[in-house]
Structure 1
Amino acid sequence: MKNTILRFNDAVYRLCIAVAGLSMLTMALIIPWGIFARYVLGSGSSWPEPVAILLMVVFTFFGAAASYRAGAHMAVNMATDRMPPALRQGAAILVQILMAVVCLFMAVKGWKLCANTWNQFLGEMPGLRVGVSYLPIPVGGVLTLLFVLEKLFLGDQSHRRVVRFDLVEESEGAA
Structure 2
Amino acid sequence: MSSYFDQISDQDAEATPKTLLDRFLDGIAHFCIIVAGVLMVFMVITFGWLVFGRYVLNDTPTWVEQTSLVIVVYITFLGAAAGVRNNSHLAIDFVREGLPAFPREIMRYIADLFVTFFGFFMTWQGWQLVMENLSRPIPIIGFSESWRAAPLVISGVLMVLFSCVNIAQRLLKSREV
Q: How does 1:12-161 map to 2 (within 5 A)?
A: 12-126=28-142, 128-155=143-170
Paired AA for residue 167 in structure 2 = L
Q: Distance in 2 between matches of 1:13 and 1:81?
A: 25
Question: How far is 1:65 from its partner?
Answer: 1.1
Identity of aligned residues (%): 27
1:11 aligns with 2:46: no
Question: Deviation digits for residues 19-73 of structure 1, max 9, x if unmatched?
Answer: 1111111111111101110111001111111111111110001111112222222
Please give the TM-score of this superposition, normalised by the length of structure 2. Answer: 0.81
Q: Distance in 1 between matches of 2:49 and 2:119?
A: 36
Moved more, 102-111 or 63-72: 63-72
Paired AA for residue 141 in structure 2 = M
State the 4+ residue runs in structure 1 displaced beyond 3 angstroms: none
Q: Distance in 1 between matches of 2:134 and 2:38?
A: 25
Task: Calculate the aligned-residue CA RMSD, in Å.
Answer: 1.5
8 Å contact 2:26–2:85 — kept in the other structure?
no
Structure 1: runs of 5 or more not aligned: 156-175
Structure 2: runs of 5 or more not aligned: 1-17, 171-177
Q: Distance in 1 between matches of 2:84 and 2:52?
A: 36
Structure with higher RCO (Cα < 8 A, 6+ apart): 1
Please give the TM-score of this superposition, normalised by the length of structure 1. Answer: 0.82
Length, aligned pairs only:
153
Q: Distance in 2 between matches of 1:15 and 1:148?
A: 18
Q: Distance in 2 between matches of 1:14 and 1:76?
A: 24
